[in-house]
Structure 1
Amino acid sequence: MTFSAETDRVVRQERTPGGAVAAAILLVTVGVLDMLQGISAVAADQLYFIGLEYLYKFDTTAWGWIHIVTGIVLILTGIGLMSGTAWGRVAAMSVAALSIIANFMSLPYYPAWSILVIVLDVVVIWAVATWHSQAD
C-alpha cells in the first residue's frame, strides 16, 4: 500500500511523540508520589521529621492536604499531556514547577521524599521543554 508524503506528514503530526508520553507517565508518577506523601502526612503525623523552626511552618496535616491536591492536579495534567497539545505542555511545566515549590517548602518535614519528587519534577520540565513536535 502506498501513501503520499502529504498523508504520511499528517499521520506523524497526529501521534504524540515518545518523549511526551514518557514525560506524561513520569508526571503521573510524580502525582502518585505526591499523593502518597500527602496521605502519609494526613494519616500519621509521626512519620514526618520535625526539625528546625522555619518561617513557613505549617501543620503536617495541612502539608498533607496540599500534597494530595497537588498530586491530583499532576495526575490530571499528565493525562492531558498525553494528547500532545501546546496547552498540555504549558500546563505540565507550570504544574511541575508548582510541585517543586511545594516540595521545597515541605523539605524540612520529609527531606528524602521531597528531594526525590523535586528531581522527578525537574526531569519532567526538561523533557517537556526540549520536546520538539512535528508541528513546531
Structure 2
Amino acid sequence: MAQTASPSGPSRHTSQGGDGRSAAGSAWAAGGAMFAGVVLLVEGVMSVLKGIAGIAENDVYARLGDYVYKLDTSAWGWILLLLGIVLAVVGWGILKDAPWARATGVVLAGINIVINFMWLPYAPVWALVSIALCVFVIWALCTAGSDTP
C-alpha cells in the first residue's frame, strides 16, 4: 500500500495491483466474477426447469404469433435441459475458480444469448431477462483479472 501526501491534510492511502488497477477495481471485478458464477449456476437450474416443463407437457408454452424458429416444445425442452446442465456445471466451476471455467462461461453465455433469442416467442420476458443476465456474465468474466476468482 502506497501513501501519498495530501497538501490539505493527513496522508491518503491508495492500493494498486501490479497492473495499475486499484484494489477497489479488483474487488469489483472479483465480485462481478463471483456474481457471474452464481448467475450461470441459477440460469442453468432455470433452464433445466424450463426444459423439464417443455419435455413433460407439450402445451406448457404457447408461441406468440408466427415465428421462423418453429420447434416442438419437446425439442426446445431437450435443448434447454442439456444447455442448463452445462451452464450449471460451468457456473459451479467459476465459483470453484476452475481454470477452464471462465472462457467456457463466456462461450456458453454467448450461446445462451442466441438460444434465448430463439426462445423469445415462448417466454418473451424471461428470455429478455436471461439475455441481459448473460450480457452481464460476459462482461464480468472478461473484465475480471486472472488473479481473482
TM-score using structure 1 length: 0.78
Q: 1:87 aligns with which of 91, 100, 124?
A: 100
2:64 pairs with 1:51: yes
Alignment TM-score, normalising by the size of structure 2: 0.72
Taking the TM superposition and a 5 Å limit, the aligned residue runs for 1:69-108 are 69-108=82-121
1:35, 1:69 within 8 Å by CA — same for their partners in 2?
yes
Counterpart of 1:65 in structure 2 is 78
What stretches of structure 1 of length at least 5 have no aligned partner?
1-16
In structure 2, stretches of 5+ residues that fail to align are 1-29
Q: Which moved more, 1:19-28 or 1:72-81?
A: 19-28
The CA RMSD measured in Å over matched residues stands at 1.7
| Secondary structure at the counterpart of residue 48 of structure 1 | coil
Where do 4+ consecutive residues of structure 1 move more than 4 Å? none
Q: Deviations over 1:90-110 (max 9, x none)?
A: 100001111111111111112
Structure (1 or 2) with the larger CA radius of gyration: 2
**Richer in strand (by share):** 2
Shift of 1:86: 4.5
CA contact (8 A) 1:81 1:89 kept: yes
Q: Which has the higher contact order (CA 8 A, sep 6+)?
A: 1
Give percent identity, aligned residues only: 41
Cα distance between partner residues in 2 of 1:55 and 1:125: 27
Q: Between Structure 1 and Structure 2, how many residues are aligned?
A: 119
